[in-house]
């Protein structure tokens, strides 16, 4: 029910729908031959509408007056239908078409004659008795009356040969074969993936929380998501997982990695028949590949958006929404698929429906951090996802031990942009420790404080966060080639990565 005219007086509606001025008059012997209640609309197709009163505009088609109709003010208000298809009283009671029912039933204004056309209507709890039947009757009456008007006007136009509109419509076929979604289509891919995507509601012990997304990782009931989605419930909070069919399950945090922004939760009573999403290979992704994002932006569960891979290896630093004050670093997949707060933790799929990333951060139109941060204004086509190869490795660690493991070079680097490259600090991260860990990977490779690292393998490094994100795409024990500058000269050295357990 429209409330467009709330607070404004609306002119009364005409007692009968206006008809073409030059329409033929209804014969006197047919005045009472209108269809009875329950008869088929338009059964008396040969009867044309009576002439309209002077000054009333003509209306074509089956348009009943809406709540915001601007009907002439001098016309009397229409009566309220007593039963479906059986108009009672009013100046048009003996003519066909019968008068249109009021847009607002009488009970919408608390009973009475129902003269308040255009009045605002606030839904209330249905009362026992005939009130609900009255609503059905009014709707049915409107449908029958509109059908009769449509039939009459249509017949009149056909009789007069008034077909100069030149408009022809064609209906599409509606057979099951025509509606089948072909493999590889977005509709088919989304339909197959949705049962394995969940909406996560996280609540802290103090009652604060939010909504994010996750997806089924294995048949044992593990759900993969972002750390910042579940951080508020990690210590004595509450997690609830809702599937696309509406079924809800309690869940608990198995492990989380703040630095990677990855977390694994497990359903407390996992149902049988869970279907994990297939994991793709994010190393094989190419710029321009199609992407499909599924999540709950602003709480709107089961939302599907599409786009492409806009870039790879994009250095991104984001926070967990203020839960710990710590940042996460990623060498992200960038996509223009629409991603908003609430998409966090949801899958970024390729055209086959395989997961290639976990949607984790956006660049909003106004200043702000990741999806979990405040002051978000929504998607501007710059979304970032953790590559699934990295997320899979972290998930395996968390399921096995509950503790994340990070590859390290054993050196502190500045997190500020200082020219081109990542500069090894001249002092330790805490102000007391040494910037290069004695006998650590960097120390053994000959790196020193003040060295500026410009490349990791073939990837350019322009800052400390970029270097960290690149290192974290590897595993402890991997050997990487580091290019650095010292005293204006470029050097290259191989470094075997060490490891650090936990987020401390």
Among all residues, which ones are annotated catalytic?
228, 261, 344
CB 233 within 8 A of CB 209: yes
Distance (Å) of CA 388 to CA 186, 265, 331, 349, 488: 20, 17, 11, 10, 38
For residues 311 and 334, the answer to whether their CB atoms sit within 8 Å is: yes
* Residues sharing a CB contact under 8 Å with residue 93, sequence separation 6 or more, in sequence order: 79, 87, 99
Cβ 278 vs Cβ 193: under 8 Å: no
Both tokens assigned to 26: 């209804």
Cβ neighbours for 142, distance < 8 A, ≥ 6 positions apart: 64, 100, 101
Q: Is the peptide bond before 206 cis (omega within 30 degrees of 0)?
A: no
Does residue 212 contact residue 225 with C-beta atoms inside 8 Å?
yes
SS3 10: coil
For residues 342 and 299, the answer to whether their CB atoms sit within 8 Å is yes
The answer to whether the CB of 294 falls within 8 A of the CB of 310 is: no
Q: Which of 357, 358, 351 is nearest to 290 (CA)?
A: 351
For 77, phi and psi rounded to 5 degrees?
-75, 145
Helix/strand/coil for 156: helix
- How far is it, in rounded angstroms, from Cα 481 to Cα 495? 6
Which one-letter DSSP state was computed for residue 62? S
Rounded to a whole number of angstroms, the distance between the first and last alpha carbons of the chain is 57
Cβ(360)–Cβ(348) under 8 Å? no
Phi and psi (nearest 5°) for 180?
-70, 130
Cα diameter, the chain: 110
| Apex 335 CA angle, 332 and 341, nearest 5 | 85
Distance CA 317, CA 331 (A): 9
Whether residue 372 contacts residue 360, with contact meaning beta carbons closer than 8 Å, is answered with: no
Which run of H or E residues covers position 240? strand 238-242
- For residues 411 and 450, the answer to whether their CB atoms sit within 8 Å is no
In contact, 307 and 385? CB cutoff 8 Å? no
Tokens of 303: 């939302």
Query: What counts of helices (H) and strands (E) characterise the chain?
Result: 7, 19
As given in the structure block, the two tokens for residue 322 are 């203020």
């Amino acid at each position: 029910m429209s409330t467009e005219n709330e607070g404004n007086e609306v002119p009364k509606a005409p007692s009968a729908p206006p008809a073409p001025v030059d329409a033929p008059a209804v014969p006197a012997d047919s005045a009472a031959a209108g269809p009875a209640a329950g008869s088929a609309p338009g059964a008396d197709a040969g009867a044309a509408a009576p002439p309209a009163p002077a000054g009333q505009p003509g209306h074509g088609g089956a348009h009943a007056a809406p709540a915001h109709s601007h009907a002439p003010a001098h016309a009397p208000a229409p009566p309220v239908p007593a039963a479906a298809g059986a108009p009672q009283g009013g100046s048009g009671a003996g003519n066909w078409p019968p008068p249109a029912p009021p847009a607002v039933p009488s009970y919408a204004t608390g009973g009475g004659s129902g003269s308040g056309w255009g009045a605002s209507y606030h839904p209330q709890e249905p009362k026992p008795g005939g009130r609900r039947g009255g609503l059905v009757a009014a709707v049915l009456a409107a449908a029958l009356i509109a059908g009769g008007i449509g039939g009459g006007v249509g017949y009149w136009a056909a009789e007069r040969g008034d077909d100069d509109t030149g408009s022809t419509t064609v209906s599409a076929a509606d057979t099951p074969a025509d509606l089948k979604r072909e493999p590889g289509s977005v509709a088919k891919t989304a339909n197959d993936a949705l049962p394995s995507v969940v909406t996560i509601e996280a609540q802290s012990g103090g009652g604060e929380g939010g909504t994010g997304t996750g997806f089924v990782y294995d048949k044992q009931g593990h759900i993969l998501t972002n750390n910042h989605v579940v951080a508020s419930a990690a210590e004595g909070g509450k997690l609830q997982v809702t599937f696309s069919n509406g079924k809800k399950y309690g869940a608990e945090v198995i492990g989380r990695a703040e630095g990677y922004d990855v977390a694994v939760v497990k359903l407390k009573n996992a149902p049988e028949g869970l279907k994990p999403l297939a994991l793709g290979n994010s190393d094989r992704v190419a710029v321009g590949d199609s992407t499909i994002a599924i999540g709950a932006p602003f709480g709107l569960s089961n939302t599907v958006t599409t786009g492409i891979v806009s870039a790879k290896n994009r250095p991104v630093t984001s926070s967990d929404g203020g839960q710990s004050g710590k940042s996460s670093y990623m060498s992200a997949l960038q996509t223009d698929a629409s991603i908003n707060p609430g998409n966090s933790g949801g899958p970024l799929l390729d055209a086959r429906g395989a997961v290639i990333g976990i949607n984790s951060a956006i660049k909003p139109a106004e200043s702000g951090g990741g999806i979990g941060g405040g002051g978000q204004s929504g998607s501007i086509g710059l979304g970032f996802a953790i590559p699934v190869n990295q997320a899979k490795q972290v998930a395996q660690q968390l399921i096995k031990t509950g503790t994340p493991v990070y590859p390290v070079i054993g050196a502190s680097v500045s997190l500020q942009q200082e020219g081109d490259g990542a500069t090894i600090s001249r002092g330790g991260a805490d102000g007391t420790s040494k910037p290069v860990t004695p006998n650590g990977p960097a120390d053994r490779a000959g790196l020193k404080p003040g060295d500026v690292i410009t490349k990791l393998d073939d990837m350019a490094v322009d800052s400390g966060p970029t270097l960290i994100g690149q290192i974290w795409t590897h595993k402890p024990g991997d050997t990487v080639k580091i290019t650095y500058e010292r005293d204006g000269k470029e050097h290259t050295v191989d470094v075997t990565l060490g490891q650090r357990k936990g987020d401390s």
